[in-house]
Amino acid sequence: MNIILLGPPGAGKGTQARILVEERGMTQLSTGDMLREAKDSGTEMGKIVADVMARGDLVTDEIVIGLIREKLAEGGNGFIFDGFPRTLAQADALAQLLNECGQTLDRVVELRVDDEALVARITARSTCGNCGEVYNDITKPIPADGKCSNCGGTEFKRRADDNEDSLKKRLMEYYKQTSPLIGYYYAKGQHTRVDGLGEIDEVKSAIAEKLDG
C-alpha cells in the first residue's frame, strides 16, 4: 500500500510516518528530510535550497520531483509520501512516476489541525540529531536522562524554519499551493480525513482505521 500524508506544517506527518514505518514496515519518503540532508551535507543542491527553506518558501517542483524519482527507481513498495506532493504539478508527476513503476496510490490521509495548535507544536519541536526521532517540549519531551528513546543519541536539533515568521510563510504556502490537492484527490476518490488534534496514539488509531477499513 502506498499512501500520502497530507497536512500543514506541524500536523504530525513525520510523527505518524515514523510510527507506520516501525509498526508496518513501510518506507517513509519525506522530501523535507531529503532536502535537509542535502543542505547538511553541503551538496550544490543543498546550498541552493537552504535559504528557500529557511524562509518557508517551496523548493522548485523540478528538484523535489527529481528526489522522489530517484527513490522510486531504487525499488520497493509500501511508500509513505510525507510532505510530497505539495503542488498540483507534483501530484501529476507522482501519478506518472507510480504508473511507470507499476504501482498505485492507495490512500491520501489528510491530517486536520487548526493553525493555533500548529504554532504551539512547531515552536516546541526538536529532533534527535542521530535518528530523527521527533520530540516536543510539551507533548513529547526528551527523556529526563537526555538520551533519545529510540537510539540513545544525546544531540537534539531545532529546525532553522521553526520560527514564527517562517511558519507563517509555510502556512500560507500550504493554503495557496498544497490545500488544492484535497479537492484533487477527493475527485479521484482517494481522499480521507483524520482529526490530527488528538493525542499521538489517537491519531495513529484514526489513521489505522482509514488504512485498514
Catalytic site residues?
A: 13, 86, 125, 159, 170
Ordered strands of the 125-128 beta sheet: 134-136, 125-128, 156-157
What residues form DSSP beta bridges with 80? 3, 28
Question: Binders of ligand AP5 among 55-74, rule CB under 6 A?
Answer: 56-59, 64
Nearest approach, Cβ of residue 162 and Mg ion (Å): 11
Nearest approach, Cβ of residue 134 and Mg ion (Å): 7
Stretch of residues binding ligand AP5 (CB under 6 A), selected from 27-35, 69-77, 101-109, 149-157? 27-35
- The separation between CA 197 and the C-alpha centre of its own chain, rounded to angstroms, equals 16
Of the candidate residues 7, 10, 12, 14, the single one contacting Mg ion (CB under 5 A): 14
User: Residue 99 corresponds to which cell in the numbers above?
Assistant: 504508473
- Does 132 sit near Mg ion (CB under 5 A)? no
Of the candidate residues 134, 142, 160, 182, the single one contacting ligand AP5 (CB under 6 A): 134
Assign residue 134 a region (left: φ > 0; alpha: ψ between -120 and 50; beta: otherwise). Answer: beta
39 binds, among ligand AP5, Mg ion, none (CB under 5 to 8 A by kind): none
- Does 132 sit near ligand AP5 (CB under 6 A)? no
Grid-cell match 516536543, residue found = 136
Strand ranges inside the chain, DSSP E: 3-6, 27-30, 79-82, 107-112, 125-128, 134-136, 156-157, 191-195
Nearest approach, Cβ of residue 147 and ligand AP5 (Å): 17
